[in-house]
Amino acid sequence: MNKHHQKETSATTITLKDLAQLADYSLMESLNSDPQATTNGEDHEPRQVFSGHYVPVKPTPIRNPVYVAHSKALFQTLAFDDSLALTEDFIRLFSGDVSHVPEPMRQTGWATGYALSIFGNEYTEQCPFQTGNGYGDGRAISVLEAVINGQRWEMQLKGGGRTPYCRGADGRAVLRSSIREFLAQEHMHALGVPTSRSLCLFASQSERVNRPWYSDDSHSTDPDVLVSEPVAISTRVAPSFLRVGQLELFSRRVRNNAHAKAQEELEMLLLHLIDREYQHDINKEASTANKLVALAGAFRHRLTSLVADWLRVGYCQGNFNSDNCAAGGFTLDYGPFGFCERFDPVFQPWTGGGRHFSFLNQPLAAEKNFETFCTTLAPLLVNDADAETQFNEIRYGFSALMEEKIEEMWAAKLGLDVLDSELLLQLLKLMVQTSVDYTIFFRQLSHIPDDIKGVQKSFYRTPSSELQEQWSQWLQTWRTQINTDQGIELVSNKMKKVNPKYIWREWLVVPAYQQAMKGDFTLMHELQTVLTEPFEEQSKEIEEKYYHLRPPEFFQAGGISHYSCSS
Ligand SMILES: Nc1ncnc2c1ncn2[C@@H]1O[C@H](COP(=O)(O)OP(=O)(O)OP(=O)(O)O)[C@@H](O)[C@H]1O
Ligand SMILES: [Mg+2]
């Protein structure tokens, strides 16, 4: 172990130099780098990468960076003082300039390749060479791996410039999408949903790129204008950024006999994944085959819990491909995501996404990714029949476990010890028929109302008298099922811990990024505060503004109710 890891971090004094001292590349160094990589990291043209786990790449800094935000919660976890975010060294590094970082940090970053399966179907067409060797982190560049207070973190710039995987694109992210990703990561963490974390966000005051987007009040499905937008770099942090698609890339190479070391590289990556994400779940002494069985079990557990959490908070990832599925089982890639406002089982904000990735279809999409994960790793089990049997049990038991987790989630949302499936079905039907706001409904229900008046705030339409009658009956039955032995207050409090009051509402986020694009971050910071305390009641003023049904003009509105890919 590097002696620097013992160094205590102090909340008031840490500088970039201190942070650099915590750098630890030992795990990464045990992997292979691309043998064809340049030595100086100037590797910005699309090209095929045939082997190796990463390519050293220098980020391209954004010009005239300005501070937009940092995560106070993550800073606290890392024992960074808030003031660090405004120091020159910190701004330079996290706006892409690694030329002056102190040793032992390196003056280059790294990007990785990955494969893509969409809903379980393999693709290579998205790669400019049609081989899959040119696909991966096209604009994501990691700059630091560090052990801080005993926890290993990777820090990755998004929008940090072109890499060999950029496919001819500019390697940039715009401020709009960076604000969305930054806030969403903060929000999801506060909602108790595992996620990559936001560290900080810097925007350029002079560099802009064009992106297709929606004109004001557009009802178009596809973007109808080209907008010049400021570029930005957000830094996200996670124990690793390994994706199911990454394992898949290496497994495809084994299958295709792509090169002599293909099997070895797949196995190295598997062990690396365990070190990075599952070291506490898996016995170090076990054989590779047994490690693999344990990994499949642990990943299945995390993935099923994750998707149950998504449903709990109304989150739709939108594009749950294998390359957007973190092998560590947390949410990754906040592109065309959205949160369900008016309850719709097939809610999907991304115009390119289709029903397969829609809201209540996400358990199935997760199963497809899990299936890809298993197919990918199965070649490492061939000589161990026992392990293979156990592995297959885990593999084919995904949907049963998923169902169990979903039932537990609904029971918790309804304040029940045991779910009555019939009661749930009746409710979901009523919610669709009435047009109900998903978040407001469950929060109102958490007050354990006596009658329909208590939940009416969540209705987008006035229900017919027949529907009102059905609601009353449903509420009565539900009330008989909640366990009030220890008092109604206790049930209510428990429900308020799983049913947030404040949720991401796109029509409230749009003004924040529009204002930020003009250099004013007031609304963005207000949102950051509101969304990082989603279970709190908050002030009357905040309640009036944010605990609110979506106004009618924001239905069918381009860039709000739906959008094309994120950018
Ligand atoms: N402007 C861009 N320049 C270069 N590559 C890009 C750009 N936009 C997207 N890509 C790459 O295209 C692929 C698909 O994009 P997608 O929207 O899933 O990812 P993303 O939002 O950039 O990234 P991530 O999954 O890392 O959060 C990714 O491999 C991504 O790196
Ligand atoms: Mg992606």
Report whether residue 178 contacts ligand 1, using a CB cutoff of 6 Å: no
Q: Per-residue pLDDT tens for 356-397?
A: 999 999 999 999 999 999 999 998 998 899 999 999 999 999
Strand duo 315-316 + 197-213: pairing: unpaired
What ipTM was reported for this prediction? 0.99
Q: Per-residue pLDDT tens for 147-171?
A: 999 999 999 999 999 999 999 999 9
pLDDT of residue 485: 86
Q: Per-residue pLDDT tens for 288-303?
A: 999 999 999 999 999 9
Length of the chain: 567
Q: Which of 97, 137, 309, 323 is catalytic?
A: 323
> For the whole model, what pTM was predicted?
0.97
- Residue partners of 564: CB distance under 8 A and separation at least 6: 212, 222, 223, 336, 350, 351, 352
Residue list, annotated binding site for Mg(2+): 324, 333
Q: Which helix (H) or strand (E) holds 156?
A: strand 151-158
**Nearest in space to 55 (alpha carbons), one of 70, 66, 41, 73:** 41
Report whether residue 163 contacts ligand 1, using a CB cutoff of 6 Å: no
Does pLDDT of 1 surpass 70?
Answer: no
- Residue partners of 404: CB distance under 8 A and separation at least 6: none
Report whether residue 566 contacts ligand 1, using a CB cutoff of 6 Å: yes
Q: How far is CA 216 from the centre of its chain?
A: 28
Q: Which atom of ligand 1 is nearest to the CA of 114?
A: 29
Instruction: Write down the residue that tokens 């986020």 correspond to.
Output: 509
Does pLDDT of 398 surpass 90?
Answer: yes
How high does pLDDT run on average in the chain? 95
Q: Which atom of ligand 1 is nearest to the CA of 163?
A: 4
Answer for the pair 448, 488: CB distance below 8 angstroms, yes or no.
yes
Q: Which atom of ligand 1 is nearest to the CA of 241?
A: 26
Helix (H, G, I), strand (E, B) or coil at 408: helix
Q: CA neighbours within 13 Å on the CB side: how many for 17?
A: 1
217 is catalytic: no
Answer for the pair 201, 65: CB distance below 8 angstroms, yes or no.
no
Q: Per-residue pLDDT tens for 472-528?
A: 999 999 999 998 888 999 999 999 999 999 999 999 999 999 999 999 999 999 999
Does pLDDT of 86 surpass 70?
Answer: yes
Q: Per-residue pLDDT tens for 232-289?
A: 999 999 999 999 999 999 999 999 999 999 999 999 999 999 999 999 999 999 999 9
Q: Per-residue pLDDT tens for 6-60?
A: 444 444 568 999 999 999 999 988 999 999 999 999 999 999 999 999 999 999 9
- Residue partners of 540: CB distance under 8 A and separation at least 6: none
CA dihedral 147, 370, 269, 246 (to 10 degrees): -90
Residue list, annotated binding site for ATP: 136, 138-139, 158, 170-171, 236, 243, 333
Tell me the one-letter amino acid at 409. M
331's tokens: 């949410």
CA distance 283 to 281: 7
